[in-house]
Structure 1
Amino acid sequence: MTALDAADRDLLIRELGRPPRGVVGVAYRCDHGVPAVVRTAPRLEDGTPFPTTYYLCCSVLAAAVSRMESEGLMREMTERLEHDEDLARAYRAAHEAYLADRLELGDLGTRVSAGGMPDRVKCLHVLVAHSLGVGRGVNPLGDEAVDRLDEYFRGAKSCARLA
């Protein structure tokens, strides 16, 4: 994670269409140099709970992930979780890792993470942000979604790469 500087803040305002909230650092930069995933505090400046620790900010990536969601990938992944014990176990471990990362920044007093973890897939944006922010091998469904990004860039190459 790197610190958020003034240039990053300007890029985030452009990407989000508003000033970023609760950002504690940049967790991943896309190939365009944009802070594509930021790590956020569990509470915003006004005290509002914000459980989304890894937040996807790159508009190009977010649009591709939205296309994935619109084609039913979340439903398909949730169904697989119901029948694949190994996948479900790995996804629960991703949930625990997410909670641990958030706890480093502050305690919300809840075991709710984000994206539907640990039992379903509710938001692919969160899962992709988690995988990009922490790297391959932590969130199996986030990794899978990142691997499929090229399919959703309408002929252009994805700006996200996991090592």
Structure 2
Amino acid sequence: MEASGPTVRKAVNAKQPVAFISRTEKFSACHRLHSTQLSEKENQDIFGKCNHPNCHGHNYTVEVHLKGKVDPVTGMVLNITDLKQYMKVAIMDVMDHKSIDKDIPYFKETVSTAENIAVFIWQSLCQIMPDPSLLYEIKVHETDKNVAFFRGEYADM
């Protein structure tokens, strides 16, 4: 006798389910927290040891979370292999083993905080994903205890 679970019937004209998927990557990079809009003393007072002129490094963990309709044919929000490739192009190829402030033009005038790194990754993925509306959240773990996340929200200045 075959074991079977409860009988689940699809409702006629049912709405399409919405699901979340995520993928995690790790990269190593160095940076210096330093604002060109502040004096040397202000930078030192605000950023402390993270303002060291010779940079400091982290082993970052980045989570990319997507939200979307489950395709009735494939059963997927997005093929995870595609997400892996998008993350390689937008994150790994650009940030891994780099000096964030020196090697990535975006950070020449933008302080390379975990918050701004999350925004940068969001914007980079938006440029290469066929459907950037699937992006739900970018989480950047700078350390085991320090995490920033961005959900594509912008406020008026």
Normalization by structure 1: what TM-score? 0.30
Greater RCO (CA < 8 Å, at least 6 residues apart): 2
More helix by share: 1
Normalization by structure 2: what TM-score? 0.31
| Larger Rg over CA atoms | 2
